Amino acid sequence: MLEQIEDVIEAKARMKMKAAERAIELVEPGMTVGLGSGSTASMWIRLLGERVRDRGLQITAVASSEDTERLGRSYGIPFVAIGKCDRIDLTVDGADEIAPRLALIKGGGGNLLREKIVASASKLFVVVADSSKVVNKLGKFPLPVEVIPMAASLVSCALEELGFTTKLRHRPDGSIYVTDQQNHLLDCTGVTIEDPYQMVSEINAIVGVVEHGIFLDMVNFALIASEDGLIERRV
């Protein structure tokens, strides 16, 4: 049983690397590059870091999370703060679910707000993922909703009126998870999202919501790797 689980994890890691390797070909010298968060994006960041450190590739990076910035800096990648950035040429990031029309759920790692800011400002936004992320409808993966801490309980009630079961995210040590922006996260389950546009407008109407993990009309293309190969999916 343990061996089977290890095999699945290894197979997924191979697929993620396949997508990351293809996405690294998109980087050109002089670009300002948005760095996503999560394990697949991290593989891509390591490949990018090797090119910066060992081959003198000149780029500037913008980080979608503090973890990502730490990883990038460990390779000597130069960063510009989001607040000082005036253009992003390319962003590569992972996803938790990829539905038709390249609608996404993101934020499993807790970084959805910055990820969305970086993605939405990018001329080219590319998703890298293994094929297990592809779904027909969003909603099986818990949808993260970032909330102002004092509003968490009220926002939770409002989300439950939409049919969700909500759970305040905690860290493994039992403390409440605090995002890079000092907010809290509600992980929402129990709703198959039939119409993501409608859901977005309903969630955005709840005061106290800072951002949610549904990404619509942002992705230029997704690089999705399976054991059989790699496909480039466009809308």
Q: Annotated active-site positions, please?
A: 115
Q: How many residues does the chain have?
A: 235
Which is nearer to ligand 5RP, 72 or 110 (by Cβ)?
A: 110
Among 39, 131, 220, 226, binds ligand 5RP (CB under 6 A): 39
109 lines the binding site for ligand 5RP (CB under 6 A): yes
36 lines the binding site for ligand 5RP (CB under 6 A): yes
Query: For ligand 5RP, how many residues bind (rule: CB under 6 A)?
Result: 18
110 lines the binding site for ligand 5RP (CB under 6 A): yes
106 lines the binding site for ligand 5RP (CB under 6 A): yes
Name residue 79's beta-bridge partners: 61
Closest residue to ligand 5RP, judged by C-beta, is 38
As given in the structure block, the two tokens for residue 93 are: 């990031």
Q: Enumerate residues 60-99 that contact ligand 5RP by CB under 6 A.
A: 93-96
As given in the structure block, the two tokens for residue 2 are: 């343990």
| Residue 143: CB minimum distance to ligand 5RP, A | 11
184 lines the binding site for ligand 5RP (CB under 6 A): no
All residues at 6 or more sequence positions from 5 whose CB lies less than 8 Å from its CB, including other chains: none
All residues at 6 or more sequence positions from 143 whose CB lies less than 8 Å from its CB, including other chains: 105, 107, 164, 187, 188, 189, 191, 193, 212, 213, 214
Interatomic CA distance for residues 98 and 224, integer angstroms:
10
Q: Is 214 exposed, middle or buried (0-12, 13-18, 19+ CB in 10 A)?
A: buried
| Residue 115: CB minimum distance to ligand 5RP, A | 6
Interface residues with ligand 5RP (CB under 6 A) are 36-41, 93-96, 106-112, 115
